A and B are shown apart, each in its own frame.
Chain A
């Protein structure tokens, strides 16, 4: 990344995910990643609550008789007040059922990026694959983010999340392969050849679907399921209790949906317009891809599914949670 860093002044990669928002920018000779959890916690207005927030130096937003604690502190205070956090985004896009979504996303992004100092500063931000059944949702989401970034004084450009994974992880393969980002709200994938996207798609069964489904069949809260999933889940070993058993089942459901959709999408495209010269790699990233054994399950599912394109290997990004933001940063520097 030396050359990228050397030419990355005033360029920011922004991963706007359902569960986290991450920015990557140049800091000296290094790349610096900053993350905020994309969630908030509404707390009823009271003097005691306000004191607690002030004592802990927590940033909050006040509206309609409520305090809204957002970002990384939201989860911390959810535990403290025994409450569930809410999400400004759902299924990879702005949550239309959440009245406070717009202002909170804007606030979180503002906290991460600060105001632009140079007139040519550029932010490349990730967007999910286009939902075929509701394309206008994506246009709205994309334009809204663009508007926020413009207000902060940045030029901006969107990059497909799957494509960002390709930029970040498939440099050695000359940006040829399949990038998959398994995130909270969506799984996004992009088959790219020599950096040209050939097909990209998204599925809405991802991390949140797992948390919610496992929570509903086991009686646990989605927040607790998420915690178990992130801290101790091992898909390579047999489940130890009913929560893990349910996690295995719903992970398989996410994987099957992803691979089926991938095969369908690639089959339609490859036969019509495109022929690969040699087997291509698949690279996995995103928080949902982190549990041990996820890569193996994807590999087995691909092998069993007779994927229409030959796959050379399936590998996990060395830094799965930063891959999208890093790819967006590369796109931002390239666009200079």
Chain B
């Protein structure tokens, strides 16, 4: 077999953020040849700029957007004008003033020092993007009713869910799920150990996720009211951009039920930290590498997470799609508060978001609050008064069940529960060494 391979030099490709910006701009051009021309003209124009201009990230961003703006201008106002889905009037103004804007920004950087430079950079960097992001259609407003109780799902989950289309930065799935991929990053590939519950040696796994952890974003949010429309959208997009840059969560669901993919399904996102969960066959430690993180844009407050009806519906569709695609068991779809632990003090509930009132029934899932936490039964973790206080006085029923199980086992082995817990702590330490 001939096994030829040609490696090209992708050096012409600019920095990741600038590539993302070019992607957004290109998506507005709906003709293959013109799109090809625009991309290549921008890449070539940027490549030809002096290396000195590209050394500083701030200047690099300005120069890149300047070149992109020039390319767009040529395309739109050429002798053979091209249809581009953009507001031509403001773009025309920006295009005509491009030299002035460039000079002002560079002047600001050189005269005003770093702070002014950053302001100039942000203005220039977002200048072209601003026009396009303004025009990206806002998702249809779902019901903004805030839910305090969630009716259980009545219908059975679909047998299969498949990707219907993937156009631009939006995916449409067969169950109605829409995913915005404009902030998506790849993430490190998944690779983790699963610890068999029967005590057999740990098994190295990787590739697909095996579970889902549900989070609350705990982020600042504008009030959910008509007069704050602009702030609501801005805050959300800023949040998603921030999460994307730090690769936090695989998905985030905003209050209108729009689902953003932040890190690819097969990529590791930061979300569960030090954590423990188990199904019938395996224990899983530190779930970032093995579980997908799904965050609701919401604030955990005094033991109660408040989310909207649209978020619940979107979470249901997303859960169905992920479970169908990766064969994720119901047992491994779990709220964050039930898996998060403090490894130093051997306490459960280090993060308590969704440690109560997560709408498991509405998502068609079994009640995870009844499951004794593996952190307690397998690794001897306990809890303190502070957790109960944070949850409004009562812990979930699985905790009491876990305590009963540990006591019964200690009796069986004729040791005190403290001695048994010390043994289980040792087991945790040994297993933890493998996942670090």
Please tell me if B159 contacts chain A, counting CB pairs below 8 Å: no
Q: 0/1 per residue, A166-196, Cβ < 8 Å to B? A: 0110011111100000000000000001111
Nearest-neighbour CB distance to chain B for A202, whole angstroms, equals 5
Q: Given A174-B23, A175-B35, A276-B186, are A269 and B7 also a contact pair (CB < 8 Å)?
A: yes
Residue of B nearest to A202 (CB): B4
Q: Cβ of B39: which chain A residues have Cβ within 8 Å of it? A: 174-175, 194-195
Please tell me if A111 contacts chain B, counting CB pairs below 8 Å: no
Please tell me if B3 contacts chain A, counting CB pairs below 8 Å: yes
Please tell me if A147 contacts chain B, counting CB pairs below 8 Å: no
Please tell me if B31 contacts chain A, counting CB pairs below 8 Å: yes
Asked if B40 and A195 sit within 8 Å, CB to CB, the answer is yes
Nearest-neighbour CB distance to chain B for A276, whole angstroms, equals 5
Residue of A nearest to B169 (CB): A278
**Listed stretches A77-85, A130-138, A287-295; interface member:** A130-138
Please tell me if A109 contacts chain B, counting CB pairs below 8 Å: no
Please tell me if A198 contacts chain B, counting CB pairs below 8 Å: yes
Looking at chain B's contact residues, the main secondary structure is mixed
Q: Given A132-B3, A174-B26, A194-B43, are A330 and B186 also a contact pair (CB < 8 Å)?
A: no
The A-B contact count (CB < 8 A) is 148
Residue of B nearest to A274 (CB): B10
Interface centre among A174, A276, A308 (most CB of B within 10 A): A174
Asked if B2 and A277 sit within 8 Å, CB to CB, the answer is no
Please tell me if B300 contacts chain A, counting CB pairs below 8 Å: no
Please tell me if A63 contacts chain B, counting CB pairs below 8 Å: no
Residue of B nearest to A276 (CB): B186
> What number of A residues sit within 8 Å (CB to CB) of B?
58
Q: Given A132-B2, A261-B5, A277-B184, are A310 and B35 also a contact pair (CB < 8 Å)?
A: no
Q: How far is the CA of A200 from the CA of B9 in the complex (A)?
A: 11
Please tell me if A87 contacts chain B, counting CB pairs below 8 Å: no
Which residues 150-164 in A have Cβ within 8 Å of B in the complex? Answer: 160
Asked if A196 and B43 sit within 8 Å, CB to CB, the answer is yes
Which residues 139-174 in B have Cβ within 8 Å of A in the complex? Answer: 163, 166-168, 171
Extra pairs beyond A194-B39, A274-B10 (10, CB < 8 Å): A133-B3, A168-B32, A174-B39, A175-B39, A198-B10, A203-B1, A273-B11, A277-B16, A313-B163, A333-B33
Q: List 15 A-B contacts (CB under 8 A).
A: A4-B31, A7-B33, A131-B2, A171-B35, A175-B39, A194-B19, A194-B26, A195-B36, A257-B1, A273-B9, A274-B10, A277-B23, A310-B186, A312-B166, A330-B32
State the 5 A-B residue pairs at the shortest beta-carbon distance, nearest first.
A278-B184, A132-B4, A201-B5, A3-B31, A171-B32
Binding site for A on B (CB under 8 A): 1-13, 16, 19-20, 22-23, 26-27, 31-37, 39-40, 43, 80, 82-83, 163, 166-168, 171, 181, 184-186, 189, 206-207, 261, 264-267
